Every structure is written in structure tokens, then in C-alpha cells.
Structure 1
Amino acid sequence: MIGYRRWGWLLLVASLSCICIATIFPFEFSIPEGLSWQFVIEEFNFGSSVKDYLQNILLFIPLGISLGIVLTPKQPKVWIILGSLFTSAILSTTIELTQFLLPTRVSNLTDIIYNSLGGTLGGVLYYWRIHIIQFFSGILTGNPHKLSLKSLLIAIVSYCSLVILGIWVLLISVNLSNWDEDYYLAIGNEVTGDRPWNGYIQSLYICDRSLNQQEVTKVFDYPDSFFSQLPSLVTSLEFHDYRNLDQDQSQQLPDLTWQKTLSLSAIDNSSDNLAKNIGNKKHLNQTVLFSQERWLKTEEPAVSLNSKLKDTDEFSISLILATNKINQFGPARIISLSDGIYAQNMIIGQQRSDFNFRIRTPITGSNATQPEFIIPNIFSDQSFHHILITFSKKKLRFYIDQPENQYFFEFTPATSFLIYFPWEKRPWIINLQDFDLLKYQQLFYTIIIIPLAILIIILIYYLLIKYLLFK
């Protein structure tokens, strides 16, 4: 017994070490300005991503198991579970409060909830350890005497319940509920200035609802007149002259300011270069150059824009633009609604010559990179392109230059289940040009059906052995 508990202490120390490294590394503490209890309450976030929830649960399961081992065996089982719950909750709360002293970390109330759930689950697993070990031993060795009808039925029901729960979580997690309303809008760069895009933009329109097919046709025929009459318009920007930027005509966006000044000679040279290379000349006199030396950012967070899209769970974005450089990396940010490269509501970018899109949902996470969407070779020339993006009811649609040139993606359990992998699937890139929904569905249903089929076969084998052959 002493040796058994000694292993429990070792597991406890190891689990605490892993938790500390995963949650407060690199231990670079600093006191934020204005730190107070009111500051702590206001800055506590709620809601993250499905992957974060799963990782938080898995991280604290070893802690719950180790607590079950080190607690005195004379304690009732219920006290072991409650002890795991309260210890996990107290430890997680302490960690989240400590994260206020770490500039690279974000304190989150949901982390406390799921960490506590993970610790409690560890206590439950320790409580049922003998039954669990006996069950898997019976399956692996093929010994029906280690199994029981009750354990097999519980395993099948538990597995089906877990699958249903997992599918339900994926179904309710395709929304914009985790968007941060205090993010800035940047055009031609990331808000931190480290992902510049080199190209030209003529107009940007954003409305807080999706467009139907008839409206999409009108957008490509008469974009300016269509959006000027649209009541749901929340951002309207037309770039006609770098000297006199037309501020948001919908008057719902903070003032945009140029972050760097580009010399007149540089602008003239770039305009000459555009005139030589561009395929479509009709936008040449109604466009503005964006580059590392010249890009736009709202003076204040775009609260109205973020909140309206978040509230409706829909949007449409119309963008007329041309790249000035075929190969750009980062991806280079054409449009960024974010607070930096690790905290994004949405980005539209260029990676090499491909169009790149990221959107934040409880599935895709705070960095919106799981998955990211690309359309190849949109920027393989320096012609102007009209890009329209719509989002509604779990569906993303991308239109390039004309309504018929359409790319489609729908968030379903079959296309989103890879988010349950605890590790990062890098890179998880969805190429919308050759996206095959059938392959995702086949993989999804295969992963679900195989374990269930194994359990049912074992159940049938058990019944044959137990009740027919030895009757």
C-alpha cells in the first residue's frame, strides 16, 4: 500500500508540473497597469473553443486520479470525487488569477469550469478503476469471464451518449458568439503592423446579414448602388484618393488613420507599375495603394462592427482589390478584424498567390486557424478581382468576380470533428477548390462506427458463449 501511494504522489507531482508548464509558462510575470479586483472582474473572459475545452479536461484528469490514490483509502468514495472537484477548482482559479500577471495569457472563466470537470472525471475514473481495468482486460484477452452483460451494455450506451454529445457540441458551436467586440479593424496589414499586404483596394462593404442569390447577382452588376441602399450595411469604404480617404459612409466605424506616410514619388511609381501590369484598367483611377509603408487602422476598437456581426451570426463582405505582388506571406493581411496575430475575429489575406480566409468560432478557436480556408491562384495576376464572402447558418460562400464562380463550405460534424484531436493539426488547410465533402463524411462515419461495431460483436460473442454454448 505504501508503494502504491508513493506512485500516487509521483503522479501528483508530475501532473502539477505539467499543469503549471501548460498554463503559466514562460513564467514572465509583470503587474498590469490598473490592477484591481474590478479590473480582474472586467477582464475575465467567458467562452473559448471546443479544442480548448477538451484540452482543459484532459490536462486535469491525471490530477484527479493522483488525488484518488494519495487520499487515505478509508475515505468514502464520494469524498474522493468531491476532493478532486474542489482541488481542481481551487487550483484552476489560482492559475487563472495568476495569468493576469502574464502578458501572453488570457484569463478565462470557462477554463475553471472545464479544468474542474477534468479533475472530477479523474476522480470518477479512479473510483471505477477496477471495473474499467477488468473490462478492457476482458476485451484485450478475449476472456468472456472478465466481462458481464451489464458492463457491455453500459459501454455501448456510454459510447453512443458520448458520440451524440460530441455531435451536439459541434452543431451548436458554429456561430460568432466568441467574437471579441474590442478588436480593431486594419486594412492592408495586421493591427500590430507585422503582416503587411502590398496591393490596391477600391472598395470595402460589410453588412450584418447574408445575401441571397438574387442580391449576389446585383452586387456584381452594381456594387456601389446596391450597398448604398442596403439597411443592414455596417461598413462602407470607398478608396478613391490616398490624400482624401472617404471615411465610413455608414458612420458606424471609428475613424481610420494611415499608420505610416508614403512619399508621393513612391505612390506615383507604384501607380505606374500598376498601370503596366494590371489586366483591368477601369479601377485604376479609383483605388489606393496599401503596403508596408502605408496601411489603415481604426483609432478605436470597431465595437459596432464586431457586435453587430456577433449578434446576427451572419455577414456579407464585398471587396474589390488587386495585388501588387504575386508572392506574399504571413498570410499578408488584406483585412484584419483582430487584436494581433494570435487573437482574430476574422482575416482576409494573401498567402503566396492564394486567397486566405480565417473566421473565429468556438470550433476554429481564438486564433481562427483550425481550419483555415484557401482558394488557390486568385492572386496569380495583378488584375482587379471582386470578392464576395457570405456567412449564414453554418455556411460559408465565396464568390470570385462573378456569381457563377462560387466556392462553398458548410460546418457540419463531418467537416469539423477533427477539432476533437487534442493536439494541433498543423496545417489544417481546406482547399475550397478541390474540397471533397464525401471524403470527410466517410472518415467521420468510419471513426464512429468501428468502435460501436466492435462493442456489438463482443456483446454477441459474449451472449453466445454465456447463454448458448454453455447452457
Structure 2
Amino acid sequence: MNIKKSSRWGNLLFIASLAAIVIATISPFNFQIPPGFSDQFIFQKFEFGGSVKDYWQNILLFIPLGISLAMIGDRQRLNSPTIVAVACLVSILTTSAVETTQLFLPSRVSNLSDIICNSLGGTLGAIFYFWRKYIAQFLLGLIYQDTNRLSLKSLLIAIASYCAFVTLMVLVLLANVNLSNWDDYYYLAIGNEVTGDRPWNGRINNLYISDRGFNPSQVQQAFTEADTLFAQSPDLVTFLKFTEEANSYQDRSHHLPKLLWQNVSASDAQAQKRSLKTQQSSENAGILVNSRQWLKTAQPAAALTQKLQHTGEFSLYLAVSSNNPNQSGPARIISLSYGTVNHNLAIGQEGTDLQLRLRTPITGSAASQPRFRIPRIFENNDLCRLLVVFADKKLDFYINNAATKYSFEFTPATSFFSYIPWSRVDWIVNLEKFKPLKYQLLFYTIIIIPLVILGAYLVFYQRLKSSNFSN
């Protein structure tokens, strides 16, 4: 009877886990044959990398599959190593089939790291199945303070395993503060989202980007002679100075495709030129962008993306002025993206606040875990000079001078919540109120409490055994 029940539950869990995997990874099932499909296309489209949250989600997704396979294998009286090996193999085949299928889904990306994490999840599921009695006995011993269910060996294994697990989590966080998950098929838009549905109303004078983080002396120079600093930099990857009327704009570093006006009808062309001439004589010279006219690269900004992805750092200088203190969306000042969801980098305006999204394996493909906000930057239409420096696991913002600085450092304490399997809605870090100490206290409290509990049980267990031995 027990064998029949185990068989039935194993089969049901296997079917349910496969259904969950299909729904989570292949929906909405809008299959399309990509242009130029071939064997070479398959190898080219498989990426490596992702976000920490994706790694964790993929492991959790395949654990039920591993458990179900272990239940079925146990029913067939296979030995434990064989069942674990079968669970690993089936997980590899299943996730490989899923990732290959995703090549035919425009909204999905095939990823080698997904195959690794999914396979690990299936293998862990099978291992957990065989350890279930020991784990349950240990947890019940802790909950009911029953030393008969505990042993010195189990407590030491638990402490060592917990320390190893925490160390691994910290190392993963430290290793993933980079730009490795940027996509090079994203376009660069100025004054809007690349899809045209997040318009910003204002003027832009300059956009300069270096693929290296600036040191303090370079930061000082950026606010006194930005043109010279960037133009003479050997690390220059974008140099856009909007001072002349034109139908298109070419990056002087030649890393970007041409920037073309979007949504500008022929009847608006002369009005646009008159507007440009008027702006050039005004205090805030530059080009006007809004919902009726904005810029976008003719092709994806692949060279720019690859340069920044390779170095894993950058310095970005932007001189802009807003025409409206109540813009929302956030309204995109610049966006290196593929739509309103997935971004490599986006700088925008929400009310009078400046918002930035930066994609890393920590912040995710939407670059929203978290987003960053600096309040009251666009309270008037004065020219705002912004310098963003990302280097050495740190994000620095300088507003109008080197002294006005806002910072965020990607440490295990500030990045730990990336391990939450679900996305936090509206996770925005206000850099004006950002206190690293608060994150550190919370992080170390969460990490140390389980270790203190296990240590206390170990001391209690030793004293109890010593007392029993004395009696």
C-alpha cells in the first residue's frame, strides 16, 4: 500500500513539476522561426550569464522535479547514487530542451547558466529526498529541544554547512557586481524610450561616455573642462555634443551608429530647425527633445555595449535641462534598452527626481532590483550636469560639481535581498537617505542569528551529555 501511494505521489509530482517548468519557461507560447536560423545560429544565441535572482529561481524551479524522480527511482529500488545521477541527467535534458525551445520565442533568451542552475536544482532535489529523514529529525530536535534527536555530529555538520552556504552566497554576490549580463542588441535612445512611449521634455547638450571609472582628479576636471577630458581620453566610447542643427548626429568616437530623429514629420522639419537655432542662442544651448521629436540609433549600440561590458566600468557625463518638473514614467532622458522592461542603462525623470537603472547580475534584466533615485534635481529648468561613475563595485553620482556626491556600494549587505526569489515591486533606493550601516546591521543580524542558535544548541548539548556522563 505504501509503495502504491509513493508511486502515485511520485508520478503526480513529476507531472506537476514538468507542467510548472513549461509554464514558467515557455509561456506565452508565441513561437516564431527566427530569421537566419541554422546550427550556427543556435550556438550564437546561447548566452552565458544572468541575474542572481534568476540563478536562485532556476535552482528552486527544478528541485520538485528532482524529488519526484527520486521518489520514482526509490520505488524501482534503485540505489541512491544511481537515482541522483538519473535526476541530474533528466534535469540536464529537460532544461536543454527548454532553452532550445526558447530560441523560437521572441520574448525569451536562451542561457547556458540556466542549464547549469536547473541541473543543480534537480540534483539537489534528489539529494534532499534521501536526506529527508535526517533533516526532519534534526529540525524536530531543534524545535522541540529534544537532544535525543540531535547529535554532536549533526550539530557540527549543520554549523559547517551553514557557514559554507553563507560563504558561497557572499562570494556569488561579490562576483556578480559587473556588466556581464548586458545585451548588445539594445538601441540607444535620447529623450524617450526606444519604443517611443516614455517621452522626456527638455534639452540635452552633451553625452560623453568613457569605459573606465574616473579617479578624483578626473572627476574634478569633468566639471571644469569636460569636452577636453573626454575628447582626449583613450577610453572614450561616446562623444555627442549637440550644438549644431542636423538631421542626424554621429558619435565622434565612432562607436555608435548614427542617431536619427524619431517621430518628426516632414511638416515639422522646418519648425525643428528654427527651434534648434533658437536654442543655440539661449543660455541652455542644446537640442530640444519631447514626445514629437527624439533621437534613436539607426542600429543597436553593439560596440558601446561590448566596450562597457568588457571593462565592467564606465564614466558617463550628461548635461541636460528639464522643461517640466512634473514628468513621469520615469520619462527617459537616455535609455540603452530594448523596451520599457529590459534595460542595460536608463536615466530618467520622475517628478523632480532623477532616476537611474543599471543592469548587473545583482539588479536583474529589468535593472530594477533596485533602482536609484536622487530627489529634487529637476525643480527648475537650469542646466544640470551629471557625472555617473561605476567602478570597483561602487556607483557614484556627481551633480554640477565634485562636492555634491551620492554613492551606493554593492556589498553583500546591500545586495543580499537579491536572493529573494520574487521581484520587489517599486524597490527604489533614495540615495539622499541611503545609510549603509542600516543594511549592514540587518544583514549581519540575519546571518548571525541561525549561527547563534546552532552554537547555543551545541553548548547545551555538550553540557547535557557531560551532566549525564557525570551521573
Indicate if the aligned counterparts of 1:187 and 1:296 stay in contact, CA closer than 8 A.
Answer: yes
| Other-structure match for 1:56 | 58
Distance 2:174 2:158 in 1: 24
- Once the two structures are TM-superposed, the CA of residue 34 in structure 1 deviates from its matched residue by 2.8
SS in 2 for 1:221: coil
Indicate if the aligned counterparts of 1:334 and 1:349 stay in contact, CA closer than 8 A.
Answer: yes
Distance 2:276 2:298 in 1: 27
Cα distance per residue 1:404-451 (max 9 Å; x no partner) = 111011110011000011111112111100001111000000000000
Aligned-pair identity in percent equals 51
Match of 2:91 among 81, 88, 94: 88
Distance 2:128 2:386 in 1: 52
Indicate if the aligned counterparts of 2:192 and 2:198 stay in contact, CA closer than 8 A.
Answer: yes
| Other-structure match for 2:257 | 254
Say what the alpha-carbon RMSD is for the aligned residues.
2.0
- Once the two structures are TM-superposed, the CA of residue 339 in structure 1 deviates from its matched residue by 2.2
Distance 1:283 1:258 in 2: 23
Q: TM-score, normalised by structure 1?
A: 0.94
- Once the two structures are TM-superposed, the CA of residue 38 in structure 1 deviates from its matched residue by 2.1
Deviates more, 1:117-126 or 1:316-325: 316-325
| Other-structure match for 1:34 | 36
Give, as a single letter, the amino acid of the residue that structure 2 aligns with 1:58: L
Does residue 418 in structure 1 map to residue 421 in structure 2?
no
Deviates more, 1:87-96 or 1:7-16: 7-16
Give, as a single letter, the amino acid of the residue that structure 2 aligns with 1:156: I
Give, as a single letter, the amino acid of the residue that structure 1 aligns with 2:341: Y
Distance 1:185 1:271 in 2: 21
Match of 2:142 among 135, 139, 142: 139
SS in 1 for 2:448: helix
Distance 1:33 1:311 in 2: 28
Aligned residues: 465
Give, as a single letter, the amino acid of the residue that structure 2 aligns with 1:153: L
| Other-structure match for 1:167 | 170
Indicate if the aligned counterparts of 1:348 and 1:358 stay in contact, CA closer than 8 A.
Answer: yes
Distance 1:397 1:195 in 2: 25
Give, as a single letter, the amino acid of the residue that structure 1 aligns with 2:319: I
Go from structure 1 to structure 2 and tell me whether the alpha carbon gap of 1:132 and 1:238 turns closer, same or farther (over 3 Å shift).
same
List structure 1 segments (4+ residues) > 6 angstroms apart after TM superposition: 268-275
Indicate if the aligned counterparts of 2:248 and 2:258 stay in contact, CA closer than 8 A.
Answer: no
Indicate if the aligned counterparts of 2:184 and 2:302 stay in contact, CA closer than 8 A.
Answer: yes
Q: How does 1:50-449 map to 2 (within 5 A)?
A: 50-71=52-73, 72-243=75-246, 245-261=248-264, 263=268, 267=272, 283-284=283-284, 286-449=285-448
- Once the two structures are TM-superposed, the CA of residue 367 in structure 1 deviates from its matched residue by 1.5
Give, as a single letter, the amino acid of the residue that structure 2 aligns with 1:225: T
Give, as a single letter, the amino acid of the residue that structure 1 aligns with 2:406: Y
Distance 2:336 2:348 in 1: 12
Cα distance per residue 1:363-400 (max 9 Å; x no partner) = 11121111111101111212111111111111111011
Q: Which ranges of structure 1 fall in alignment gaps of 5 or more residues? A: 276-280
Q: TM-score, normalised by structure 2?
A: 0.94
SS in 1 for 2:223: helix
Q: Which ranges of structure 2 fall in alignment gaps of 5 or more residues? A: none
Go from structure 1 to structure 2 and tell me whether the alpha carbon gap of 1:269 and 1:340 turns closer, same or farther (over 3 Å shift).
same
Give, as a single letter, the amino acid of the residue that structure 1 aligns with 2:8: R
Indicate if the aligned counterparts of 2:257 and 2:298 stay in contact, CA closer than 8 A.
Answer: yes
Indicate if the aligned counterparts of 1:242 and 1:289 stay in contact, CA closer than 8 A.
Answer: no
